[in-house]
């Protein structure tokens, strides 16, 4: 991974000066539609948009999903290094039309959704010709 990509990641949290803005949800992933023609296809978020959780303990992720076809789902993944290994932080719960809220914490591996330094999404499908349309918001807790 290039250094430029590494430094352009979205920093969640930040300095004390930005604390006031932390409670307002921010758009993490604009509305997008992704899909695949076979179940083996997996699509990962662009690395320039991965969340860097180094300045915060926990974030609240809100997923808005408008369409799901072919048993598609969004999985959040976390890693201590941009090179991986990446671990799923949800159990593939982001697969239903509507709004879903998840908490991701880096404080303890015992949290329901433990998070490490970096956070990204992965889209996959359980059937041929899968497709999902969604956007993601994040909020520092």
Partner 1 sequence: MGKRSTTGWITLRGSSGYPTIEQAESDWFDCAGANYAQVEVLLAQLSGATLTVLGAEKNNQYFVNNLTATDLSSTVHTLYLNRKVPPGDSDRLNDVLKWVVTGNSNWEACFQVVVNLK
Q: Which residues bind partner 1 (CB under 8 A)?
A: 27, 30-33, 64-69, 97-98, 131, 133, 135
CB of 63 to partner 1, least distance (A): 12
Smaller CB distance to partner 1: residue 43 or 57? Answer: 43
Residue 100: C-alpha distances to residues 12, 44, 64, 84, 130 (Å): 20, 20, 7, 26, 20
Q: Which residues of 56-79 are buried (b: 16+ CB within 10 A; e: fewer)?
A: bebbebebebeebebebbbbbbbb
Smaller CB distance to partner 1: residue 97 or 107? Answer: 97
Smaller CB distance to partner 1: residue 32 or 71? Answer: 32
CB of 122 to partner 1, least distance (A): 19
């Amino acid at each position: 991974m290039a250094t430029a990509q590494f430094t352009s990641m979205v920093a969640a949290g930040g300095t004390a000066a930005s604390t006031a803005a932390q409670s307002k949800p921010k758009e993490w992933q604009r509305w997008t539609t992704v899909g695949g023609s076979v179940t083996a296809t997996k699509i990962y978020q662009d690395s320039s948009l991965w969340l860097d959780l180094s300045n915060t303990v926990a974030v609240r992720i809100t997923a808005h999903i408008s369409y799901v076809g072919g048993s598609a789902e969004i999985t959040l993944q976390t890693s201590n290094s941009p090179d991986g290994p990446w671990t799923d932080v949800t159990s593939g719960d982001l697969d239903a039309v509507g709004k879903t809220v998840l908490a991701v914490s880096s404080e303890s591996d015992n949290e329901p959704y433990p998070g490490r330094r970096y956070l990204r999404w992965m889209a996959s499908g359980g059937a041929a010709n899968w497709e999902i349309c969604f956007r993601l918001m994040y909020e520092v807790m």
